[in-house]
Chains A and B, each alone.
Chain A
Amino acid sequence: MATLDQTDVKDGVDQDTVDAVAALSGAYKYGWETEIEMDYAPKGVNTDIVKLISSKNEEPLWMTDWRLDAFARWEKLDEPTWAMVNYPDIDFQDIYYYARPKSMAVKPKSLDDVDPKLLATYAKLGIPLKEQAILAGVEGADMPPAEGRKVAVDAVFDSVSVGTTFQVELKKAGVIFCSISEAIREYPDLVKKYLGTVVPASDNFYATLNSAVFSDGSFVYIPPGVRCPMELSTYFRINAENTGQFERTLIIADKGSYVSYLEGCTAPKRDVAQLHAAVVEIIVEEDAEVKYSTVQNWYPGDENGNGGIYNFVTKRADCRGARAKVSWTQVETGSAVTWKYPSCILRGDDSQGEFYSIAIANNMQQADTGTKMIHLGKRTKSRIVSKGISAGKAQNTYRGLVSMHPKAKESRNYTQCDSLLIGSNCGAHTVPYIEVKNNSSRVEHEATTSKVDDEQLFYCRSRGMNEEEAVALVVNGFIKDVLQELPMEFAMEAQALVAISLEGSVG
């Protein structure tokens, strides 16, 4: 990679920040490939491929029809061009839409039956598919079980889920956690009730394509009043060449429930770009809360912009009931091109949405990411904190919408988005949309780091700090605020990010 050591960094940008960005976006650790025999569907997409994917997953007819309907819509849609990203035209007929390890032809009965090569792959990624407590960043599965913390994992490899841990224990609590293909077979009523109700099949070009060809993904149902006894996670691994990964995640938090969900993803280094077009739908009922955290670490391509993942993702949460709460936290370091706007529909009165994002783009990476906060209910609250860092020749865009509908009386939004440029060959952009249609709501958008809270400063000063120390503490405290939203499992990434300060931000 292009070393940032040679970049002429302007005064005021903290050296630790430059080092941390270099480390985070440096040599890609997950670029190796698992040699494993695969079954492919023929290249390209058409109604036969859609039917094939549906039949591979042994889906009921209604699901096949739903997919076909989406496919028919997709054929009439044009690829969106409004994002500030540039990439060569994608030949949608030159992609494998379904790739499954041969050893997965017969579904393993339990994790013990899973192909050792697949288990070894996840172990090497630091995601042991064993039912034991795991700690963040612990390499291999040979560590002794840690105290109490458990994380259930659904592991998706190319087009299929290879296994889900802790299913039995979760079931005792009433929690359903399985692959979406399994959910369609085992819990068709739940899937039918919720699938496509947050992100409709007609939503946008990539979501519509996903609706037609998604091959697997994760499904979560937390029953009323249940606090999920452990954190849930999905780990997406793209391995096969020339394949696209289209996964679908559906999370339902019923009344008064709580779940924290983590998502990780990596892919091998290749010279040719690969497409990843996922859809995540979250339904949050009355008094329920969902925390969704992502560390997006897809292969970003090399320093000349060859290869990497095109990450075109639609993520949306619908706070349907009163006092529902959803929180998106994302750390975006990977992907050649990112097009991703995790959003919150705040329908229930007093519901809350949060979006915390750190997006780091280096070399030739392009990120266009942000959020939408749609305030429909009364006294709804949203908070957006976005930090974008560009280095090398990267382009990093924050794009967001805050919409206060006429009936969303007395609602609040606070947005802060800061950008930092390291070197003079990159770009940082901010495209916020603010729509206020009632006057009892308050919307505040700002994008400067120079404006540090006076009261906090005064407090620090009154404790004997000089102004500079006080400002540093407040600014760093703010970054840490975001990082604290990351669950334990991402402690390693968080630790690396702590070194980043937004001092020297351009706005």
Chain B
Amino acid sequence: MAVAKLKSDATEARLAGLTLPAGLDTARKDALSRLIATGLPHKRDEYWKYTDPASLTQADAPQAALFHNDEGPMFDAIDRVKIVFVDGVFDADASDDLAADGVTITRLSDVADADIHWATELYGTLEARGQTPVERPLAALNSAFASDGVLIHATGKASKPINLIYLHGDTGSDVMLHSLVKVDAGAEVTLLETGPAAARFNSVLEVDVASKGAFHHVRSQGRDHERRAVTHCFARIEDEALFKSFTLTVNGKLTRNECIIEMLGDDAVAHVAGACVGDGNDFHHDDTVFITHDALNGESRQVFKKVLRNGAVGVFQGKILVKAGAQKTDGYQISQSLLLDEDSQFLAKPELEIYADDVACSHGSTSGAIDEDALFYLQSRGVPRQAATDLLTLAFLAESLEEIADEALADDLRERLEGWMARRG
């Protein structure tokens, strides 16, 4: 088949010149075989129907100009452990001590010298599980070749959030980072990820949450207009565990965020949300979510909101899979787009696959222009048209921001969004 040939050729070209980093040898070799078995994705693959992966798979990273940001750092007012990577390279000077109560933090590149048992066991495991029923070759590529990342082990309630700060300083940087989070029974940790990271960024996060543990994830993907990113978050959550993830994306030429969650214990809760504001015909944003309910009484929510204009493209592929026996599942999925002009596009595939009868799953998807009646109402009360549009846009995005448990973090994101809109107007 022609596509299979194209894929194996592209894979060969991509792998040329790459060597497996030291440490985690078995896991890396296994990941490489997974990648070679499937080949890199191609736009003819059903899972890439709405997003062309070419720039993510090509051998060399496309150039991406830097964005000069005069704003202060994100979440600056919040006490947190800062871990800084510049184009994927750890910056010890800019980083805090890798320490906080209730949590141990190590770097992935240290794992070769240290025997971190849990990390050796977890690395690549959830990624490998996530390869069925849908292949995720870019994640396998990452597991094989990731140069660094952070290993977080929460043994109690972490005293402060951990913030991975990704700076972009080289217009041709091509970065793969792989981080692990292990949350012990009853433990809790918040992970913040901020910044563009590189011209091309491939990120994998594997999160293992034990019984009654809680994991909070808040991410803001940086404002560089030309950057490209593919991210995968693989999570496995046990009984009564909580997983919450929120991502804000405002710029970037291409972003594909995949979130793959397996709910293996009863009464588990998983919420995934995203807000995206896209402007311009070189903006393409794709949220791909796959939630598997494999236990009783699980609750999952997917809330994705996209505001698009000037030819921006927004994609949502969401799936809820309820396995046989996963009774009393409550699955909710909403994807909505607000198209601010004639040129933008919203492409969605909200899927359900259900093998249990006593469940409630709903999915909704809407797309349309801004509500003219609401706009007229605001204008008639003296609000200028642009301000009224911004107000309605923020209101539209609000439902997804409400998925952030920590008010201080949510407020920071909200203020930035307001600021960006005000300046753009």
* Residues in B whose Cβ lies below 8 Å from that of A439: 339-342, 344, 368-369
Q: A430, A442, A506: which contacts B357 (Cβ < 8 A)?
A: A506
Known: A82-B46, A435-B347, A439-B342. A10 touches B357 (CB 8 A): yes
Which A-chain residue is minimally distant from B352 (CB atoms)? Answer: A430
What DSSP secondary structure best describes chain A's contact surface? loop
Flag if A436 contacts B367 (CB, 8 Å).
yes
Whose C-beta in chain B lies nearest to the C-beta of A404? B367
- Are the CB atoms of B353 and A429 closer together than 8 Å? yes
User: Which A residues between 47 and 65 are near B, CB-CB below 8 angstroms?
Assistant: none
A window 5-46: CB within 8 A of B: 9-11, 13
Q: Does A459 interact with chain B (Cβ within 8 Å)?
A: no
Asked if A94 is an interface residue, CB under 8 A from chain B, the answer is no
Q: Given the complex, which residues of B lie within 8 Å of A507, measured CB to CB?
A: 331, 352, 354, 359-363
Let me know if B355 and A436 touch, CB within 8 A.
no
A179 to chain B, nearest CB (A): 39
A507–B363 alpha-carbon span in the complex (Å)? 7
* Cα–Cα, bound, A40→B348 (Å): 48
Given contacts A434-B346, A440-B369, contact A427 B355 (CB under 8 A): yes
- Asked if A506 contacts B361 (CB within 8 A), the reply is yes
Residue in B331, B346, B351 whose CB lies within 8 Å of A436: B346
Complex Cα distance, B382 from A25, in Å, reads 62
Query: Cβ of B349 and Cβ of A423 under 8 Å apart?
Result: no
Cβ B368 vs Cβ A433 within 8 A: no
A400-433 interface bits toward B, Cβ cutoff 8 Å, 1 = contact, 0 = none: 0000001000000000000101111111111111
| Contacting residues, chain A, for B348 (C-beta < 8 A) | 432-435, 445
A448 at the interface (CB under 8 A from B): yes
A-B contacts counted at CB < 8 A amount to 126
Contact partners of A450 in chain B: CB under 8 A: 360, 362
Could you tell me the distance between the alpha carbons of A288 and B297 in the complex, rounded to whole angstroms? 51
Q: Does B245 have its Cβ within 8 Å of any Cβ on chain A?
A: no
Q: Which residues of A contact B360 (CB under 8 A)?
A: 448, 450, 506-507
Interface residues on A, range: 35 or more
Check if B57 is an interface residue, CB within 8 A of chain A.
no
Min CB–CB distance B305 → chain A (angstroms): 15
Taking residues whose C-beta sits less than 8 angstroms from the other chain, chain B's interface range is: 35 or more
Given contacts A450-B362, A507-B331, contact A432 B349 (CB under 8 A): yes
Contact partner of B367 (CB less than 8 A), chosen from A9, A430, A443, A451, is: A443
User: Min CB distance, A368 to chain B, in Å?
Assistant: 12
Residues of A within 8 A of B365 (CB): 432, 434, 443-446
| CA gap between A26 and B238 in the complex, in Å | 42
Contact A427 B366 (CB under 8 A): no
- CB of A447 within 8 Å of the partner chain: yes
* Alpha-carbon gap, A421 to B343, bound state (A): 41
Contact of A424 among B331, B347, B356 (CB under 8 A): B356
- Residues on B with C-beta less than 8 A from A9 are 357
Interface hits, B311-341 → A, CB 8 Å: 322, 324-325, 327, 331, 337, 339-341
Does A304 belong to the interface (CB within 8 Å)? no
Contact of A506 among B337, B350, B354 (CB under 8 A): B354
- With beta carbons under 8 angstroms apart, the residue of B324, B337, B351, B355 that contacts A430 is B351
Does A441 make an interface contact (CB < 8 A)?
A: yes
Q: How far is the CB of A93 from chain B (nearest CB, A)?
A: 23
Given A436-B367, A448-B362: A427 and B346 within 8 A (CB)? no
Out of A13, A84, A435, which one reaches B345, CB within 8 Å?
A: A435
Complex: how many Å from CA A102 to CA B353? 48
B contact set with A: CB distance below 8 Å: 46, 322, 324-325, 327, 331, 337, 339-369
A-B contact pairs, 16 of them (CB 8 A): A9-B357, A13-B357, A423-B357, A424-B358, A429-B353, A430-B352, A434-B349, A437-B345, A438-B342, A446-B364, A447-B361, A447-B362, A448-B360, A506-B360, A507-B352, A507-B361
Chain A residues with a Cβ under 8 A of chain B: 9-11, 13, 82, 84, 406, 419, 421-448, 450-451, 506-507
What would 13 more interface pairs be, CB under 8 Å, given A424-B356, A436-B367, A443-B367?
A421-B356, A427-B353, A428-B354, A433-B347, A433-B348, A435-B346, A436-B337, A437-B345, A438-B342, A442-B367, A443-B368, A445-B348, A448-B362
